[in-house]
């Protein structure tokens, strides 16, 4: 990104946090919903990539059905951004009230018993709102109300700082994905202290992931969640977040056994299977606007 592009991005995101937070919630929702419809209609690169990815989710869909799904997907993606800008001024208790959550009790029981928990989820629904709900549930259970997570470092730097700042204000402990060993040290320390880690894990950014079958096609997913579980003895559980009318939904699946590092590939495939089931239940809420399947990702160029 050029310096001018970074300045424009900074201004745009700054307006997002400053202006969108000040708008009445209904007005903000309508503005972003319209933006999502227009983005689908214009069929830019993001919408085109979303269409290609969703075609794998619903392989039997005809063109008209796929058009409608892409439109719903872009509206869902726009809703995520609207809520991301407004989340710092939203009431955590109201988010908890308006969230339908299932499957969290085994995680709470593990933490009460002194065992760390790692939730792995795809880019679906509003994972930030889900994080607020999880923190509220931890608080109600009398457990430490916070968790560790990893995010991609955005440019420009001040936009990244805004994202980190707002997530930290919600109770997230944020690590940058490019911080190397410091990320693992921080996550391992939290898990060994019977804490919670939540990782978005359907897209490998490291080029060192695990080959899996996702939605019936070959893909690579990060090995980090399963590897951390093997290293620390943490309980590994798949999760899926989606929109549920005007509220949210968080479904947490059964624990995945990772007794040692040799089990990491199988555990990662088990996560892929859980993600596949969740994405197929709510395909419009899968916000994957980047290439993810092996057939769509260029081979890395060898450096002489």
DSSP H stretches of helix in the chain: 3-15, 21-22, 25-42, 45-57, 63-86, 92-97, 105-112, 127-140, 157-170, 181-192, 224-232, 264-281
- The residues near 170 (Cβ < 8 Å, ≥ 6 apart) are 87, 88, 92, 128, 131, 132, 135
Is a pLDDT exceeding 50 seen at residue 302? no
* Residue listed under structure tokens 């969703």: 54
Average pLDDT over residues 29-43: 91
* Residue listed under structure tokens 């060994």: 192
CA 228 to chain centre: 18
Q: Is residue 217 part of a domain?
A: yes
pLDDT of residue 236: 98
Between CA 224 and CA 97 the distance in angstroms is 32
Q: How many domains does the chain have?
A: 1
Q: Which residue segment(s) compose the domain that 45 sits in?
A: 3-294
Between CA 77 and CA 33 the distance in angstroms is 9
pLDDT of residue 154: 61
pLDDT of residue 142: 96
Greatest pairwise CA separation for the chain in angstroms: 57
Closest CA to 132 of 83, 187, 195, 176: 83
Average pLDDT over residues 217-234: 96
Is a pLDDT exceeding 60 seen at residue 304? no
- The residues near 161 (Cβ < 8 Å, ≥ 6 apart) are none
Average pLDDT over residues 206-228: 93
**88-145 pLDDT, tens digit each:** 788 888 999 999 999 999 999 999 999 999 999 999 999 999 999 999 999 999 999 9
**145-202 pLDDT, tens digit each:** 999 998 777 666 666 777 777 788 778 898 887 777 888 899 999 999 999 999 999 9
Closest CA to 116 of 193, 44, 38: 193
DSSP secondary structure string, 99-118? EEEES-HHHHHHHHTT--EE
**43-95 pLDDT, tens digit each:** 899 999 999 999 999 999 999 999 999 999 999 999 998 998 887 788 888 99
User: Is it true that the peptide bond before 156 is cis, omega within 30 degrees of 0?
Assistant: yes
Q: Rg of the chain's alpha carbons, rounded to an integer?
A: 19
Q: What is the CATH number of the domain that holds 45?
A: 3.40.1130
Q: Is residue 299 part of a domain?
A: no
Q: Crossing angle for the helix pair 25-42 and 63-86, nearest 10 degrees?
A: 140
- The residues near 186 (Cβ < 8 Å, ≥ 6 apart) are 148, 173, 175
Contact status, residue 268 vs residue 225, Cβ threshold 8 Å: yes
Between CA 59 and CA 57 the distance in angstroms is 6
**251-287 pLDDT, tens digit each:** 999 999 999 999 999 999 999 999 999 999 999 999 9
pLDDT of residue 178: 74
Closest CA to 131 of 198, 57, 223: 198
Q: Is residue 304 part of a domain?
A: no
pLDDT of residue 64: 96
Q: Is residue 181 part of a domain?
A: yes
Please, what is the average pLDDT of the chain? 89
Q: Is residue 59 part of a domain?
A: yes
Report if pTM > 0.95: no
In the structure, what pLDDT confidence band is assigned to residue 301 with cuts at 50, 70 and 90? very low
């Amino acid at each position: 990104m050029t310096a001018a592009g970074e300045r424009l991005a900074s201004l745009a995101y700054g307006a997002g946090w400053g202006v969108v937070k000040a708008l009445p919630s209904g007005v903000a929702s309508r503005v972003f919903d319209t933006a999502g419809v227009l983005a689908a209609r214009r069929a830019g690169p993001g919408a085109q990539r979303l269409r290609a990815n969703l075609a794998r989710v619903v392989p039997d869909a005809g063109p008209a059905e796929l058009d409608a799904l892409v439109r719903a997907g872009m509206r869902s993606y726009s809703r995520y951004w609207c809520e991301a800008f407004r989340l710092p001024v939203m009431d955590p208790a109201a988010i908890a009230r308006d969230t339908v959550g299932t499957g969290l009790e085994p995680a709470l029981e593990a933490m009460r018993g002194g065992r760390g928990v790692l939730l792995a989820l795809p880019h679906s629904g509003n994972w930030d709102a889900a994080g607020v709900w999880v923190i509220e549930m931890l608080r109600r259970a009398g457990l430490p109300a916070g968790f560790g997570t990893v995010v991609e470092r955005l440019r420009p730097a001040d936009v990244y700082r805004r994202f980190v700042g707002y997530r930290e204000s919600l109770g997230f402990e944020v690590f940058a994905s490019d911080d190397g060993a410091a990320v693992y040290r921080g996550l391992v320390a939290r898990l060994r202290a019977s804490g919670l880690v939540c990782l978005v894990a359907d897209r490998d950014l490291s080029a060192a992931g695990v080959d899996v079958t996702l939605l019936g096609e070959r893909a690579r997913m990060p090995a980090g969640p399963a590897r951390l579980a093997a290293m620390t003895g943490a309980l590994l559980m798949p999760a899926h977040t989606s929109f549920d009318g005007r509220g949210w939904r968080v479904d947490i699946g059964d624990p995945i056994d990772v007794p040692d590092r040799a089990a990491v590939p199988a555990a990662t495939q088990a996560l892929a299977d859980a993600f596949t089931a969740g994405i197929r239940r709510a395909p419009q809420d899968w916000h994957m606007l980047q290439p993810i399947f092996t057939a769509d990702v260029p081979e890395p160029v060898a450096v002489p």
